[in-house]
Chain A
């Protein structure tokens, strides 16, 4: 069953472009596994050609071959899948999916009409920041370290948290919240 799905999808993708198609998580996993060998061979061949480039500085040592894309890029949909695999909490994943489904249809409409609008870009950025917080819920988004008695959590009016030293260092450069870009105001009640 899984094998059939993979083999059926691959020729289709090669032949005709498919937009906004995002396989289920399980299927993606299978696709990723089965494609590893093929992708490695393909990339290895390409790497041989790349070695002929003279623009690459001597200090460049190619990293391991990238994993192949196991999903068709659909904007928010792709990000959803990525976030889903990383998030431990199932409910959090579901929440992300629910929030972003309307966005996907919106993306389809926009793809066929006007260029990306500024508000769209803003929304995209905001969602990404929230995804970051979800991944590191218990730590400071700036230094990625956990909070403790010596270095406690400092809340802001926009309900984001940081170490006091981290956010003060950032505020030397900008008055906006690193996560949501709103004006930075500390929540007085907790201080």
Chain B
């Protein structure tokens, strides 16, 4: 019923997501609602999240592509820009959205690369951040890369 009014842009984006998957990311639409996507992201290499597997959900609102998609982490994660409920503090998902962006760009460039590597802001205090990581180890799906401590 809802799927019959699906804009062609969403159909095109879905087809491309399925036929040309990006490395580290997998996304597929729900059978019940073509606007709801189940997403899985591998933790980026050379980051404290390497080896982790993170589940997310993505929803395309009625106004899409004029309004940003809604994305949320379902897997718990310790990250300065992601809260306890998995909501992501990311400007392009809020007031800086642009209709030239797409699902793939949001997931690959902004969530997978930019969000995860926001730990760069802690490079001045790498030990401090990693100590925080170890305190929340139960929230991670993996052990931090040992070599990371050499920074």
Interface majority SS (helix, strand, loop, mixed), chain A: loop
Mark interface residues in B101-121 (1 if CB within 8 Å of A CB, else 0): 110010011000110010011
B98 and A178 within 8 A (CB): yes
A69 and B74 within 8 A (CB): no
Query: Which residues does chain A contribute within 8 Å of B38, judged by CB atoms?
Result: 60-63
Pick the contact of B66: A32, A62, A86, A173 (CB < 8 A).
Answer: A173
Binding site for A on B (CB under 8 A): 7-9, 12-13, 20-28, 30-32, 36-42, 44-47, 53, 55, 57, 65-66, 74-76, 92, 98-102, 105, 108-109, 113-114, 117, 120-121, 123-124, 141, 145, 147-148, 150
Report the 8 A-B pairs with minimum CB-CB distance, sorted nearest first: A63-B28, A66-B26, A178-B100, A63-B26, A141-B100, A178-B98, A115-B121, A142-B99
Query: Which residues does chain A contribute within 8 Å of B66, judged by CB atoms?
Result: 169-170, 173
B9 and A63 within 8 A (CB): no
Most chain B C-beta atoms within 10 Å of own C-beta, residue among A71, A73, A179: A73
B9 and A144 within 8 A (CB): yes
How many residues on A have C-beta within 8 angstroms of the other chain's C-beta atoms?
A: 58
Q: CA separation between A67 and B27, bound complex, in Å?
A: 11
Query: Which residues does chain A contribute within 8 Å of B117, judged by CB atoms?
Result: 73, 75
**A9 CB to nearest B CB, Å:** 12
Pick the contact of B45: A73, A75, A170 (CB < 8 A).
Answer: A73
**A105 CB to nearest B CB, Å:** 16
A181 and B98 within 8 A (CB): yes
Mark interface residues in A56-85 (1 if CB within 8 Å of B CB, else 0): 110111111111111111010011001000
Query: Which residues does chain B contribute within 8 Å of A125, judged by CB atoms?
Result: 92
Residue on B with the closest CB to A176? B98
